[in-house]
Chain A
Amino acid sequence: MDHTRRDGGHIGSEYFALPGSRVPPNWKGACTDIMPRSIRDSAIVIFLIAGGLVILFSSDKNSGGNVITRTVYGIVSPVQRAAYAGYRHVRYTWDSYVALVGVQEENRNLKKQLADLKRQHAALLAEQRENRRLRKLLNLKAQHEFPSVVAQVIGEDAVGWHRTFFINRGSEDGILPFMAVTAAEGVVGRIAKTSGEMSQVVLVTDPNLAVDCRVARTRDRGVLTGATENKCVLKYLQPGSDVRPGDEVVTSGLDGIFPRDLPVGRIDTVSQDDQRLFLQARVTTAVNFSEIEEVLVILGEQGGFDIRSGMESRP
């Protein structure tokens, strides 16, 4: 690039020259005749610095602004207001419309996150409940002296006329018909049918099932049969027995299916039977069958709590 002017001088050399530098002879600057270039530049620098210092030390801090300031403000103010209004307008437009695209996306993400968290929360609660139930069953299992299998309820009676449900354990797990099924709260029923991986359980509330029971307080014996939902009838109680509402009913262990002293339920009412030969009591079961999800199947034959006639239970 050629920095040489047509007259032979360098471009820009009319504005600034170092002290001692040579000024071209053909240059026609206005100041060159009065003072050398270097002195002029130094004077400008000093003048401006000095002016700044004068303004700095002479200005009154408490004054509301001098004429120059006010004038400049007066000129700048409308432009600045207009610029600010424009900025606000643009900002409002951005926030209200353009940025909403992001907000909508963010909102969608947050909703998704919320749904995920809710799902996780529900899953955790379900696991917590399951954990509590299994802990109860584990305690029950530890209390029993015989082997048992924990099973999950996977289905219910096909037609609903009878009180049965299905569990996910079968003969492959050592389950056989007539084995006792219990829960943490008490007796559930007994195994009716089994296949390799599934079994049918008849509940104590089914009229087809009879369990030999005792009233825990008086030790009176009776036969418990199903009546209605969550209700049973304890039959053949001796007429003179002191059975009262609120008494706990437990298994006697004499039927060879259920171990003794497993809770069955509590007596609601006591009355005489139709023939007036025995007393009978309505019993509310300890287990709520509509909420049951896991059960414990007592492997009677393997456990050896088989009760021979005349023996109530093994010590």
Chain B
Amino acid sequence: MSTATTLRSRHLLGIAGLEPDEIDLILDTALAMKEIATRPIKKVPTLRGRTIMNLFFEASTRTRMSFELAEKRLSADTLGMTTSGSSMSKGETLADTARTLEAMAPDMIVMRHGASGAPHQLARICRASIINAGDGMHEHPTQALLDAFTIREHKGRLGGLRVAIVGDLAHSRVLRSNARLLTRMGASVVACGPATLVPPGLEALGVRVTTSMDAAVDGADVVMMLRVQHERMHGLYFPSVREYFTLYGLTPARLARAASDAIVMHPGPMNRGVEIDSAVADGPWSVILDQVANGVAVRMAVLYLLAGGDERADASAA
């Protein structure tokens, strides 16, 4: 059982600011939240009267829908903004947008932004609790938390597990948040991708780095595939999609090297035939749809725990 009964910060900007007992608290709370989805009335009155703004400056389907659903299941009033059709496209700076929205007195702001550190900037300006829903190539904390929840659900634990994270390491905030969380909770993580997509300094996150997929998958309890992010690739990182799939695509044959009860994860959206074979994505190892379902419960847990936060006792916004 967790020993923390509260989160120390009133923002969730990244996994970097979370202690292991806070991670346990979020995952245990999510377990209670998951039950609500099984009820005839999938809604509790907890955040009645709270206003939550969802600011998505980058394309998102599942994360935005997942946050909105989590907010509605807790009875919060929610409103959303996407970049197209907002004043940002008229040239307003993030700081000015933040001050404008702040004047409307939201209790929480969920933000996805293409620039690393954008939510941290917002946290310095706003009185509202800020939740990072993905910032550039930096962090995506709720994704790592829902991944950890899904792993714990299937494996009963995080400590001592062998986790392989494979794919586009350079552009992946999912990798960074997961590597921080999993190593902090005692799992051993190996990150694998083509040399052109291995950023310098990755070992500082506590992970082992390899360019051999067979070595990475060997004996793994969890194989987490990352999306090839064509939209962030402004250069030529590998010769062809076919060559990428040959070297780094997860096929049933390659998965046979992992532990016999290994699970396969993907944060979505999947590029079938690029990083993952359809036979694996739809196979018995796949927990990809569990990840989506668990995302709502984990986000409900985060919203609930942050709603009790103390704005004076805030340490990590600075």
Partners in one complex: no
Name B's A-contacting residues (CB within 8 A): none
Name A's B-contacting residues (CB within 8 A): none
